[in-house]
Every structure is written in C-alpha cells, then in structure tokens.
Amino acid sequence: MHIALSLPERESSPWMALFADALPKATLERHEPDRSPRGDVQQADYVVVAYPSKTLFVEQPAPKAVFTVSAGVGHVLALANLPRGVPLVRVEDAGMAAQMIRYALTAAMRFTQRLDTYRRQQHAAQWIQHRPRGPSQVSAGVMGLGVIGSAIARALAVQRFHVRGYARSRKDLAGIRCYAGRDEFAAFLDGLDFVVSVLPATPETAGILDRDAMMRLADGAHVVNIGRGNLVVEGDLLALVDSGKLSGATLDVFREEPLPAAHPFWARPEITVTPHVSGLTIPDETVAQVADKIRALERGEAVSGVVDFVRGY
Ligand code: GLV
C-alpha cells in the first residue's frame, strides 16, 4: 500500500514517523506542497492532506480515499483537483472534543461568574458587586450538533446550564432541546444568554451569526465562535458590543487568520481573542484514527466521517 502525505518540507512534524509506525507495511511519500506537478510519482492508494497543496491531486488524481487531519474541510474542498468520486474522510474528535469542551466551559463559567465585568472594573479600580448567577439561570445554546457540538452541549447540561442545540437536521440528545434547520433557528436563538458555535463553514452557514440573529439573543448575551470565522458577521458583532446588546464575545476563529494586527477585535476588552487553538489536532490520536480507517477500507468496510460534498462537511 502506498500513501502520499502533503506536508511542507520545512515542517518538523511527527506525521511521517507516526504513519510509518501505524502502518508498517505501507510505503510513504511526502508531497512537497505546491511544487510543479511531477509525472513520475507513484500513484497512492490513500492521500493524507496535512497541508492543502494545489498540486497534490494533479499528481494523485485517483486514490481510494482522501483523509484530512482536521475536523473542518473547507480548505480541502476548495482544492480545484480534489477527486470527487472517492471518499473524503475528516477527523472525528481524536482528542479535539475534550479540548473544545474545556474551552466552551471556561467561556461559559467566565460569563456566569461575570469575570469579564470584574476584569474591566479592576482596570477602573471599581469595587462593585453584582448579583450572583448560577448556570441554571443561564440559557446556553450550541450551534452544530456533530460529535464535538453534542459533547459540548452535554457538558454544559452536566453543569446545569439550560441547554438548547441547533443543527441542520433533527437531533435527539437527552436533556437538550434540539432545534433543526433554518425554520427553527429564530426559536433556538430567542433569549439565549450564551451561544457557542461549532458549525462548519458551508454556503448555508456563512454569516449565520449576523445582526438579525444576534439581536434575538438576550440583552447582555455572550457569543463564542469555535467553528469557523465566516459564521460571524464581524462588523455586526462589533456594533452589537458597542451598543451594549452583547456583553462580549470569545472568538477563536476569524474571517482572516492570523487575525490582522489592525483588526478592531484585538483592542476590545469585551472580546477575548485566541489564535485558533480551541481544538488542535493531536497527531498521534489522529494518525491512529486514520490508520484504523485505512485498515477498515482495505477490509471493504464502511468508515465514518465521510464528507458529503453537497452538504460541505
Ligand atoms: C480545526 O480547526 C479543525 O478543523 O480541525
């Protein structure tokens, strides 16, 4: 079996060694991204996209399956030569859900404990006590109920937040009120104090958190985005923070990454910015998952995590 992996030469990551350990009988080839396509490369049975190279699929037009090393696949779907007739398989959890649960819970607890407010008061040397508030007084919504989103929704429910979930299709999660599709989106948002989005970037989700959507939230609500940057209309979010409609936001993903130095988010005390770290790929868990799926495909079995090209995730 031959596997091609797109990975910049300069990157000193453990991918090659991990794949060699996990699939000792396979031959591995590192595709240096965006080089001029070569006609003499060995055709791979499987391609792993650790870096979205524009020339990868010119050289490898017909693998049996393509794997990403991320949960989001927009950067791979955007590749012009991506073969559409074979499965594209994305990472499912592989250690990301636990990280993203911690991130979402931290933001939810900071909101509940009003720590952002006290931080701002500290800068002004203000000693003002606010009424205590517990999770059971907070309505929290999770947008996106895949493997990661449903784990976050459950974790919030365990902490006794009132949890609603929103997904494209109907989901059934114990203790969580689930809303499905754009028809039910407004009802999902109405009066939420805290909303966390883990939606993927698709044509349907672009700009989903715009002014109209965020105006439906409770006054003083807090928005968390750990899905993709283009879910949020950034100017609308800033305007709603300015007007006091939103008390703040915790943002890990942005329309442009790295977030440009001149971007207004950096300087806003109401907005917490993190550099796309809420769910980092863990190489050994990811390779173990990909290797298991390659073995399953070789046995002729179906695998999970196959991207629906029409849905976009
Ligand atoms: C990270 O953003 C991922 O999609 O895995």
In short, whether 71's Cβ falls inside 6 Å of ligand 1 is yes
* d(CA 103, ligand 1 centre) in Å: 14
* Amino acid letter, 116: D
What's the confidence (pLDDT) of residue 80?
87
Helix (H, G, I), strand (E, B) or coil at 45: coil
Starting at the edge strand that comes first in sequence, how are the strands of the sheet with 27-31 ordered? 27-31, 2-6, 46-49, 65-68, 88-89
Query: What amino acid occupies position 167?
Result: A
Provide the total of helices (H) and of strands (E) in the chain, helices listed first. 10, 12
Ligand 1 close to Cβ of residue 272 (< 6 A): no
Among candidate residues 216, 255, 276, 295, the one labeled active-site is 276
274: which DSSP letter?
Answer: -
Contact predicate 3/29, CB 8 Å: yes
**CB–CB of 31/6 below 8 Å?**
yes
Q: Are 57 and 82 in contact (CB under 8 A)?
A: yes
> Which residues, other chains included, contact 134 with Cβ-Cβ below 8 Å and sequence gap of 6+?
112, 160
Is any atom of ligand 1 closer than 6 Å to the C-beta of 205? no
Nearest to 249, CA basis, from 260, 258, 240, 257: 240
- pLDDT tens-digit map of 65-100: 999 999 999 999 999 899 999 999 999 999 999 999
Instruction: Read off the pLDDT of residues 40-51 as tens digits, 9 standing for 90 and up.
Output: 999 999 999 999
For residues 311 and 313, give the distance between their C-alpha atoms in angstroms, rounded to a whole number.
Answer: 6
Going by alpha carbons, the residue nearest to atom 4 of ligand 1 is 72
Long-range contacts of 166-171 (CB under 8 A, 24+ apart): 166/141, 166/142, 167/143, 168/204, 168/311, 171/145
Residue 72 beta carbon below 6 angstroms from any ligand 1 atom: yes
Q: Active site includes 276?
A: yes
Residue 34: predicted pLDDT = 87
Per residue in 158-206, pLDDT (tens digit) is: 999 999 999 999 999 999 999 999 999 999 999 999 999 999 999 999 9
Which residues have a Cβ under 8 Å from the Cβ of 193 and sit 6 or more positions away? 111, 138, 139, 140, 217, 218, 220, 221, 222
Is the whole model's pTM more than 0.85, yes or no? Answer: yes
Q: What is the DSSP string of 288-302?
A: HHHHHHHHHHHTT--
